[in-house]
């Protein structure tokens, strides 16, 4: 079974019980355009409602996993016309009832990397770039990054990543001891499929109950972090320096 949710999101059945969501916005390199955000929400609604689904693989195309907010949306946030909390795409994997595997075969930038970290299993590629680049522009992180990045990467590396806004190749993160596998790009999706097929051997209700238990603390704490991040944005986003940085540095 193959179902194309939209031209930029493809949902396919890898095997019985395993669905793959592939982000494939070739024009915008998997930026979180309004169309991509809507399509992602619809895709996760589709797989969550599928009573036969036991595991979900989230992946991108070629060298891109997900590359974060658009310049237009960042400028709207800077001008106070929107908030990242208006559109909850960041925690879709966390809220999905069955386990989600982020097969980050390509670059994960800003909110794109953060979204991937909300999955139950994370796989990176050695060649790809991963960064939480919010502070590159001068505004504090959002999308639950202040919670999930230190939680998944460890306090020291997570805080470093959020504060310095550096770019890291997957190979460097592997050497720094990230607690999830890092493979050659061509191996990422096959390894994700292996995990998903192992999950599909288990009863669906058992997978749902266990995920609910394992993620309960994160789901309870996330709204608190989101509220705090929105409050920080009210103070940090409106700076003129931030606007200039978004206009000058975006895409670099």
Per-residue HEC secondary structure of the chain comes to CEEEEECCEEEEEEECCEEEEEECCCCCCCCECHHHHHHHHHHHHHHHHCCCCCEEEEECECCEEECCECHHHHHHHHCCCCCHHHCCCCCHHHHCCCCEEEEECCEEECHHHHHHHCCCEEEEECCCEEECCHHHHCCCCCCCHHHHHHHHHCHHHHHHHHHHCCCEEHHHHHHCCCCCCEECHHHHHHHHHHHHHHHCCCCHHHHHHHHHHHCHHHHHHHHHHHHHHHHHHHHHCCCHHHHHHHHHHCCC
Catalytic residue among 3, 28, 107, 233: 233
What is the rounded distance in angstroms from the CA atom of residue 130 to the CA atom of residue 216? 27
CA distance linking residue 80 with residue 233, whole number of Å: 9
- 107 included as an active-site residue: no
Q: Are 230 and 142 in contact (CB under 8 A)?
A: yes
CA distance 135 to 163: 6
In whole angstroms, what is the distance from residue 147 CA to residue 50 CA?
29
Residues annotated as catalytic are 233
């Amino acid at each position: 079974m193959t179902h194309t949710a939209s031209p930029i999101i493809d949902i396919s059945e890898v095997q019985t019980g395993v669905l793959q969501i592939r982000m494939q916005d070739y024009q915008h390199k998997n930026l979180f355009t309004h169309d991509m955000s809507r399509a992602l929400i619809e895709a996760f609604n589709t797989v969550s409602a599928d009573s036969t689904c036991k595991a979900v693989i989230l992946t991108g195309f070629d060298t891109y996993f997900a590359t974060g907010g658009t310049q237009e949306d960042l400028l709207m946030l800077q001008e106070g016309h929107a908030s990242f909390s208006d559109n909850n795409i960041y925690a879709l994997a966390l809220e999905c009832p069955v386990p989600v595997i982020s097969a980050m075969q390509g670059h994960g930038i800003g909110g794109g990397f953060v979204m991937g970290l909300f999955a139950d299993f994370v796989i990176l590629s050695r060649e790809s770039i991963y960064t939480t680049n919010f502070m590159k522009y001068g505004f504090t992180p959002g999308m639950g990054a202040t919670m999930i990045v230190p939680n998944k990467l460890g306090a020291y590396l997570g805080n470093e990543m959020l504060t310095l806004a550096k770019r890291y190749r997957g190979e460097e993160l592997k050497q720094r001891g990230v607690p999830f596998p890092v493979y050659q790009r061509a191996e990422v999706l096959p390894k994700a499929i292996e995990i998903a097929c192992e999950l599909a051997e288990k009863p669906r209700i058992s997978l749902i109950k266990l995920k609910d238990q394992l993620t309960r603390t994160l789901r309870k704490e996330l709204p608190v972090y989101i509220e705090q991040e929105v409050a920080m944005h009210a103070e940090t986003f409106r700076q003129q320096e931030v606007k200039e940085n978004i206009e000058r540095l975006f895409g670099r």
